[in-house]
Amino acid sequence: MRAHRRTLGPIVAVALWVALVGGGVAWSAESEFEDRPAGASVEEFGSPLSRAVEERVQMRTLFPNLKRALQRYPNFIAESELVLDFRTFMFPLRNTKGQDAYAWAAGGRFGGRTGWWKDRWQAGASVYSSFPIVADDPRALTELLRPNEKGFIVAGEAYVKGRFADNEITLGRQELDLPYVNKNDSRMAPNSFQGLVGKGVARGVPWLNRLDWVAGYLSHIRPRNESNFISMSEAAGARSKDRGMALAGLQFRPSRDMHLGAYNYYAIDTFNTLYASADYLHKISADWAMRYQIQYTRQTSVGQELVGSFDTWGAGVRAATSWRGWTAWLAFNQTSDEGAIQTPFGSYAGYVSLMQSDFDRAGERATNIGLSYAPKVIPEFSAFVQYGHGDGGLDVDSGISNAFEREVNATVDWRFEEGDWRGLWLRARASVLRSKNSETGWEVRLILNYVLPVL
């Protein structure tokens, strides 16, 4: 571990320097770009609500002759997919408690789905894995591995899906991408959920341009560095309890450039979370665009209040502008004095959320500024840097009120969508966090993803 300590300081400095020299950042919160690079314009970023109804895009296979040979069979077989998503992740860190950890893991996702049978039914499954290469992380601070540096392999997805027109329903183990209930895919494997979820699009109503909907019931979640599914209530902190969660959401798009929506999650006997947001895109010219957003979260304990009695809220606003590949943004967030927003089912949906801190402590007032760059002449490259500042919040660990925290993040991405290296994504990230009366925390994340569409 001492050798790691001697080398990690320079690694942090080099990674931050590369990112700052290379360019800027995606203008979204951490939950919005944890699994995708920065875009060339604010037009490329949907609202947090729009990801709920995104479809997994079918990729071009590496074996076209095999794919053509399958075309003689029914669509259920001919349109099947099989994908290997290899990932290796190197992650040294020191947290604000002065604890050091280091892990280098390899694994990823191997899975697929059938074509549609009678244009109505589909099945799919995926296996997630993470195995240690080198690790000094017995407390699983990196979350790449299980405690005591143990790897894992688990059937993260196993589902049957039915569809009618623009609507579908999924039963079984599945991935979700909703505000507060999502994959949180910034480690080796994403969260996955077990339950029944429907989603779709209502069209043809005269006064609606488009109405997206999601509704369902989740019984269990598999946290991203675990090999077992646990109940939603246990994930929320109610040990040895078995309660699920009902969810429902709507997103109204009166025009292509405007999104209005809300989601509600009722976690039985623990707490209810209401999330609402509005998003407006203003295209000024072919090169110049503006984007304005506002969001609100209300969280209250319910039923038997198995994780305590509380009633809190958070609200934020954000404005961004982009010009010829450059994007800059400014965001503000305020959290109620009554408590922080709890996020046991996915990443925090707030605009002021960085790699180490969500800036959502009780009473905290937070600001986030950032810059990204994604040049059209080098479509594989993008980079971003952002700064977050929070004060007025209660530091739960130290018990100090009005404690400030400051974080700087930087990320560089090389992602190949075409050519011989299609499917390869190299990502380097670094973060430094300072807070009152605590150690300076830092992280370096070096990630290689390689998506290989076998079928």
**Nearest residue to 220 (alpha-carbon basis) of 344, 55, 130, 49:** 344
What mean pLDDT comes out for the span 153-169?
Answer: 94
156, 320 in Cβ contact below 8 A? no
| Alpha helices per DSSP H over 23-132 | 30-33, 64-69, 75-78
d(CA 53, CA 414): 26
In terms of C-beta distances under 8 Å and separation of at least 24 residues, what long-range contacts does 125-128 make, across chains too? 125/155, 125/157, 125/158, 125/159, 126/155, 126/156, 126/157, 126/158, 127/153, 127/154, 127/155, 127/156, 128/152, 128/153, 128/154, 128/156, 128/188, 128/189, 128/190, 128/192
pLDDT higher than 60, residue 13: no
Condensed to tens digits (0 to 9), the pLDDT of residues 190-231 reads 999 999 999 988 776 666 667 889 999 999 999 999 999 999
Condensed to tens digits (0 to 9), the pLDDT of residues 47-61 reads 555 666 666 666 778
Q: For the chain, what percent of residues have pLDDT higher than 70?
A: 87
pLDDT higher than 90, residue 450: yes
pLDDT at 124: 97
315, 336 in Cβ contact below 8 A? no
Q: Does the model's pTM come out above 0.75?
A: yes
d(CA 396, CA 409): 23
Q: Which amino acid appears at position 226 of this protein?
A: E
Give the distance from CA 98 to its chain's centroid.
Answer: 26
Q: Which two tokens stand for residue 368?
A: 């986030």
Cβ neighbors of 173 (< 8 A, separation 6 or more) are 155, 156, 157, 158, 159, 192, 193, 194, 222, 229
What mean pLDDT comes out for the span 355-360?
Answer: 93
What mean pLDDT comes out for the span 407-436?
Answer: 93
What mean pLDDT comes out for the span 341-368?
Answer: 94
Question: Which whole-number Å values give the CA distances from 309 to 237, 270, 336, 359, in the listed order?
Answer: 13, 9, 15, 22
**Nearest residue to 37 (alpha-carbon basis) of 327, 277, 406:** 327
**Nearest residue to 184 (alpha-carbon basis) of 353, 374, 368:** 353
Condensed to tens digits (0 to 9), the pLDDT of residues 72-119 reads 999 999 999 999 999 999 999 999 999 999 999 999 999 999 999 999
Condensed to tens digits (0 to 9), the pLDDT of residues 304-322 reads 999 999 999 999 999 999 9
Domains and CATH numbers, the chain: 2-453 (2.40.160.10)
Q: Is residue 206 exposed (0-12), middle (13-18) or buried (19+ Cβ within 10 Å)?
A: exposed
Q: Which two tokens stand for residue 217?
A: 């019931």
d(CA 184, CA 175): 10
d(CA 350, CA 219): 25
9: confidence class by pLDDT, cuts 50, 70, 90: very low
Q: Is residue 422 exposed (0-12), middle (13-18) or buried (19+ Cβ within 10 Å)?
A: middle
Condensed to tens digits (0 to 9), the pLDDT of residues 256-267 reads 888 899 999 999
Range with the poorest average pLDDT among 142-156, 200-214, 363-377, 398-412: 200-214
245, 265 in Cβ contact below 8 A? yes
d(CA 445, CA 449): 13
pLDDT at 17: 34
